[in-house]
């Protein structure tokens, strides 16, 4: 290869981002660097999806399948499946993974907790999934139920840890209350809980949030700090679900996903900006923009937007509203953005009621993701965001203090 070709190759590799060493190593990379010591001689069941990759995008499935002294005997698919080919809410079927010949068991079908039959040849369950730090995102529910199953069948459990893309500092929302435990609020934690999956697993075990505690090992990521954005890690982002295509989508999911459960407005799902806007038919976009910007909410700005959603809420209709921009990730109160939008809509368009008859069949899901019916009950009275903020924020300080003893990172 001549000098010119060599330089072109180097330039190409740099462009592809393959020469830069990430600042952070994920749990699977740390495990590999240690020669898979914790898995030697064990039959491994792996709970994963397409986000389970190393910095070069090699799947954890292949890494463990090729690892010397490790026997990969089963795969387990959460919502969206092991290969990510299942839409949100669709059941995942049990099958055989074509690449490895290993059976794939569904944890989002007839059962959401591994059964004795699924675990019969397994010595240790390994969990490697990129999460987004939000209680209603169901991967942590899968993790917790799998931890219970491991405990019940005397099987070890290992978490290969990954960064929390919303950071390890953001804690927002009330704890899930009795009567509102569900797959979208499986544990008594805030809506944004400020922990990695490994830290959360330690907390679930340590605070006896599970029916039975398991024998847990966490392989921490290396180099991650709580204040880091995902971009600062240098790691590639693999979409965690179809509408979370980028790392900052995790912030947007938290800011609009609760309101989205009502199907009252488009939040951009079904358009090119999932979770990044609030729109409806017959809305004066400029008026709504002015109303929201006048609130001077910390860390967020709004602009008018006009669209025709391709599918989901508002499919094919002329919608207008606001797109929001997060300008200060540290200061913004992500989850509260949607509550202020609900207030502004009620003030400008009292005939367009978010808790009206057209949304009534969605009240149950709204309450589940809120972890309580009190957000809906309090907000319904006067449609003032300030009425719910004390309730929404009431558990944050205590949870932050409690969770510190499970921190693996500074």
Last residue of a domain, one of 177, 209, 238: 238
Query: Do the domain assignments include residue 379?
Result: no
Residue-level pLDDT, tens digit, the chain, 410 residues: 555 554 454 445 444 444 468 999 999 999 999 999 999 999 999 999 999 999 999 999 999 999 999 999 999 998 877 876 666 556 666 788 988 999 999 998 889 999 999 999 999 999 999 999 999 999 999 999 999 999 999 999 999 999 999 999 999 999 999 999 999 999 999 999 999 999 999 999 999 999 999 999 999 999 999 999 899 999 999 999 999 999 999 999 999 999 999 999 999 999 999 999 999 999 999 999 999 999 999 999 999 999 999 999 999 999 999 999 999 999 999 999 999 999 999 999 999 989 999 899 999 999 999 999 999 999 999 999 999 999 999 999 999 999 999 999 99
Asked whether residue 280 falls in the same domain as residue 233, the answer is no
- Residue 219, classed as helix, strand or coil, is strand
Report CA-CA distances (Å) from 194 to 17, 78, 140, 333.
29, 22, 13, 13
Domain that holds residue 127: 21-238
Q: Are residues 98 and 196 in the same domain?
A: yes
285 lies in the same domain as 224:
no
As a whole number of angstroms, the distance between CA 226 and CA 297 comes to 24
**Number of separate domains in the chain:** 2
Query: How far from 41 is each of 36, 70, 125, 217, CA to CA, in Å?
Result: 10, 6, 14, 16
Residues 189 and 253 in one domain: no
Return d(Cα 381, Cα 390) in angstroms, integer: 15
Cβ–Cβ under 8 Å, residues 27 and 128: yes
What pTM was computed for the model?
0.92
CA distance 364 to 352: 20
209 phi/psi in degrees, rounded to 5: -85, -5
């Amino acid at each position: 290869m001549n000098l010119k070709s060599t330089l072109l190759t180097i330039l190409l590799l740099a462009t592809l981002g393959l020469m830069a060493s990430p600042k952070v190593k994920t749990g699977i990379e740390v495990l590999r660097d240690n020669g898979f010591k914790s898995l030697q001689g064990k039959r491994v069941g792996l709970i994963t999806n397409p986000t389970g990759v190393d910095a070069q995008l090699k799947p954890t499935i292949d890494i463990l399948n090729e690892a010397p002294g490790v026997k990969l005997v089963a795969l387990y698919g959460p919502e969206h499946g092991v290969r990510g080919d299942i839409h949100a809410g669709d059941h995942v079927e049990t099958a055989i993974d074509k690449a490895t010949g290993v059976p794939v068991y569904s944890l989002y079908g007839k059962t959401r907790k591994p059964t004795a039959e699924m675990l019969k040849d397994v010595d240790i369950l390994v969990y490697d999934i990129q999460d987004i730090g939000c209680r209603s995102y169901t991967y942590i529910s899968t993790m917790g139920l799998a931890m219970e199953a491991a405990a019940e069948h005397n099987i070890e459990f290992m978490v290969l840890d990954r960064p929390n893309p919303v950071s390890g500092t953001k804690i927002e929302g009330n704890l899930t209350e009795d009567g509102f435990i569900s797959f979208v609020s499986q544990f008594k934690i805030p809506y944004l809980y400020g922990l990695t999956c490994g830290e959360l697993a330690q907390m679930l075990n340590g605070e006896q949030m599970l029916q039975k505690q398991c024998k847990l090992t966490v392989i921490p990521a290396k180099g991650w700090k709580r204040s880091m954005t995902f971009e600062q890690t240098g790691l590639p982002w693999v979409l965690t679900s179809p509408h979370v295509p980028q790392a900052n989508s995790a912030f947007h999911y938290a800011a609009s996903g609760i309101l989205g459960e009502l199907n009252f407005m488009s939040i951009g799902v079904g358009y090119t900006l999932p979770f990044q806007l609030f729109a409806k038919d017959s809305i004066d976009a400029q008026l709504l923009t002015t109303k929201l910007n006048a609130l001077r909410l910390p860390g967020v700005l709004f602009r008018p937007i006009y669209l025709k959603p391709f599918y989901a809420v508002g499919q094919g209709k002329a919608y207008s509203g606001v797109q929001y921009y997060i300008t200060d990730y540290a200061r913004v109160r992500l989850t509260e953005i949607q509550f202020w939008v609900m207030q502004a809509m009620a003030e400008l368009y009292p005939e367009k009621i978010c808790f009206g008859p057209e949304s009534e069949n969605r009240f149950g899901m709204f309450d589940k993701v809120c972890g309580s019916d009190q957000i809906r009950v309090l907000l319904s009275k006067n449609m003032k965001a300030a009425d719910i903020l004390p309730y929404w924020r009431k558990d944050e300080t205590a949870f932050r203090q409690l969770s510190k003893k499970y921190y693996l990172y500074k």
